[in-house]
Amino acid sequence: MLASGRSLAVALVFAFALVTLGACTTAPPPGDPTATPSTTAPPTASPSPLVPPALEVRIADARGAGAAGEIAPEVLAGASDQIGATLATMFTIGFVDREAWEGGAFTSLFRLFEADVRDRAHRDLELLSLGPLAKVVEGVRVPVASAELRFLANAAGRPVVAIADTQFVATARAGDVRAELAQTGRFVLRWSEGAWRIAGYDVAARIPSELDRRPSPSDAAFAPGLPATGPTFLLAIGSDARPSQAVATARADSLHVIGVDPRSGVVSILGIPRDTWTPIPGHGTDKINASLMLGGPELVVETVERLTGIEIDAYALTGFAGFTQAVSAIHGIDIRIPYAIDDRYAHARFRPGPAHLGGKQALAFARARHDLKDGDFERSRNQGRLLVAMAQTLARNARDGTGPFVRWALAGAAAIRTDLALEDLFEMLVAVPMFDPDAMRNEVAPGRLAMIGSQSVVRLDARATAMFRDLARDGVLDG
C-alpha cells in the first residue's frame, strides 16, 4: 500500500535524486565546518513520554553515519534511548495499556507522529494498534519488542533522522480466549518539536478483528514528508561539464522530469532531448541545454516549467565525475541492456541482457548515442532506463536492511547539487521500496531534427505537448 511519492525520484537521481517538498533548504556542503545545522540537535536527556511505557523496546543495534564517516556509539546513545522510549510508548498505547486505548480511540498515540502524518496514521489505526479488538481484550502479554536503528547525521555530525526496523509479537487475551498478534515495521523518525517523532512508516501486521479468528496479514505505509494527494515533480539535470569545469556552468547533457502520483503509486520519467529548441527566459531562443550554462539549475527549472507547463518541486544536478562516484559508492547498478551498443566515442561496449554496471560503465551507457538508431532520443530513453535501474537496485538492497539508505544518501549528497537538505534525501530514499520500480514509466518527448542556421536542433511536436499536459495533470504518463 503506497502513500507517497516524491521519494522515488530521489533515489533515482544521481542520475536522479530527491525530498520533502514545501520549505526545502539547500544542504550545506559535506564537511563544511562553518555550516549551520538545519535541525536542532537532540538533547542528551530523554523527554518524558506522553504515556509511561509499560514495556521496554530492546535496541538490538544502533549505528549511524554522516559526511565525515561513522558516528561514534557514545554520540548516538542519547538519541537511541529517546527513540527507544518513543517506540515503547507507541507499543504501550497501541497494545498494552488498557487505559491508554480509550476504548479504541487511541487519541494519545497520534501525538507521537508529526502533525502532517497524524491523519494518515488515524486511517491506518487498525495496523498501528489493537484497533476494534481493544473493546474486548482484557490484557496483552509481549514477549518480543525490539528495534534496530540507523541514523543519518547532518554536517555538524548530529543525528537528525533515523530509521527504526521494529519487531513486535504479543498475545491478547479475554478470559480463556487467546489471539496472537504480530507487527513488523520500518519507522522514519525525525527530531521535531522537542522529541523524536514518527515522520513515516511501512508496517506489516497480523491483528485479528476478533479473538477467535486467525488474523490475515495486512500492511500500511506512509512516506515521510510527502503530500498524501497531488503529484510531485522533480527535475534531474546531468551536466556536460568536463573535469576543469563547474557542473553549473556547462551545458546540460540530460534532462528528465520525474513525476510521482502518491494516489496510484506510479512514477513516470519523461526525458527532454538536450537539443530541444525553446525560449530561455531572459536569453532569447536556444537549445534547452544552454539554460544551465546561462543561469545554472535555477534557470533550467524555469525554462523547463515554461516549456512543459509543469511546476517543478525540486531539482538535482550532477556531472560526469559526480555520477561516476555516486554509482561506485552504492556498489553499482543492476540493469538489463536492451540491445548491443558499440560507441567508441563514449567508450561504451555492451551486449544485450542483464548486467551490473560500475560507475564508469554506467556513465558510458548514459552517454552512448553514435550507434543508436534514434541518436539523442534513444540516449535519453537509456538514461531513463538507468533511473529505473537505480530504483530497482535500491529496492532490492533495502530488503537486506536499512544500511543502504544511509550509504545512498551520503553518496547522493557528495555527488549532486540540489535544493534539498541531506535529511530530506534520506527520507525520500526510504520511501523508494514502497513503490514498484518495475511499474515505472519511461518516455522521451518526441520531435524531429531540424536546422537553425548551422545548428542541428530538435523541434518538439504536438505529441510532446500532449505528453507534457498529460504528465502535469496527475504525475502519470498514460498509455
How far is it, in rounded angstroms, from Cα 105 to Cα 100? Answer: 9
- % of the chain beyond a pLDDT of 90: 44
pLDDT of residue 305: 97
Q: Quick one: average pLDDT of 390-402? A: 73
pTM above 0.75, yes or no: no
pLDDT band at 27 (very low <50, low <70, confident <90, very high): very low
- % of the chain beyond a pLDDT of 70: 78
Q: Is the pLDDT of residue 414 over 60?
A: yes
Q: Quick one: average pLDDT of 363-380? A: 89
Beta strands, E only, 115-264: 139-153, 159-174, 177-192, 195-206, 217-222, 232-239, 252-261
pLDDT of residue 70: 85
Q: Is the pLDDT of residue 190 over 60?
A: yes
C-alpha dihedral (380, 381, 382, 383), degrees to nearest 10: 50
pLDDT of residue 403: 62
pLDDT of residue 339: 93
CA-nearest of 209, 196, 219, 97 to 147 is 196
What domains are there in the chain, each with its CATH number? Answer: 35-222 (no CATH), 232-474 (3.40.630.190)
pLDDT band at 34 (very low <50, low <70, confident <90, very high): very low
pLDDT band at 218 (very low <50, low <70, confident <90, very high): confident
How far is it, in rounded angstroms, from Cα 286 to Cα 279? Answer: 6
Q: Residue 385 to residues 276, 343, 389: CA-CA distances in angstroms?
A: 20, 18, 6
**Residues in contact with 429: Cβ distance below 8 Å, sequence separation at least 6, in sequence order:** 7, 10, 11, 18, 394, 405, 408, 409, 412
Q: Is the pLDDT of residue 224 over 80?
A: no
Q: Residue 16 to residues 234, 281, 312: CA-CA distances in angstroms?
A: 9, 25, 14
Q: Is the pLDDT of residue 13 over 60?
A: no
pLDDT of residue 2: 28
pLDDT band at 4 (very low <50, low <70, confident <90, very high): very low
pLDDT of residue 283: 97
Which ranges of 332-375 does DSSP label H, i.e. alpha helix?
359-367
pLDDT band at 351 (very low <50, low <70, confident <90, very high): very high
Write down the mean pLDDT value for the chain.
81
Each residue's pLDDT tens digit, 96-118: 999 999 888 999 999 999 988 89
How far is it, in rounded angstroms, from Cα 320 to Cα 316? Answer: 14
Q: Quick one: average pLDDT of 185-209? A: 88
Q: Is the pLDDT of residue 193 over 50?
A: yes
pLDDT of residue 38: 38
Q: Is the pLDDT of residue 296 over 50?
A: yes
How far is it, in rounded angstroms, from Cα 330 to Cα 432? Answer: 15
pLDDT band at 228 (very low <50, low <70, confident <90, very high): low
Backbone angles phi, psi at 160, to 5 degrees: -125, -20
pLDDT of residue 42: 47
Q: Is the pLDDT of residue 350 over 90?
A: yes
In the beta sheet, which residues pair with residue 460? Answer: 447
pLDDT band at 325 (very low <50, low <70, confident <90, very high): confident
Each residue's pLDDT tens digit, 257-277: 999 887 777 889 999 999 999
Question: In this structure, what C-alpha cell is assigned to residue 372?
Answer: 543508436
Amino acid 351 reads: R
For 206, the 3-state DSSP assignment is strand
Which is more confident, 110 or 374? 110
How far is it, in rounded angstroms, from Cα 251 to Cα 274? Answer: 9
Q: What is the DSSP letter of 433?
A: G
Each residue's pLDDT tens digit, 415-457: 677 766 666 667 667 766 667 777 889 999 999 999 999 999 9
Q: Is the pLDDT of residue 64 over 50?
A: yes
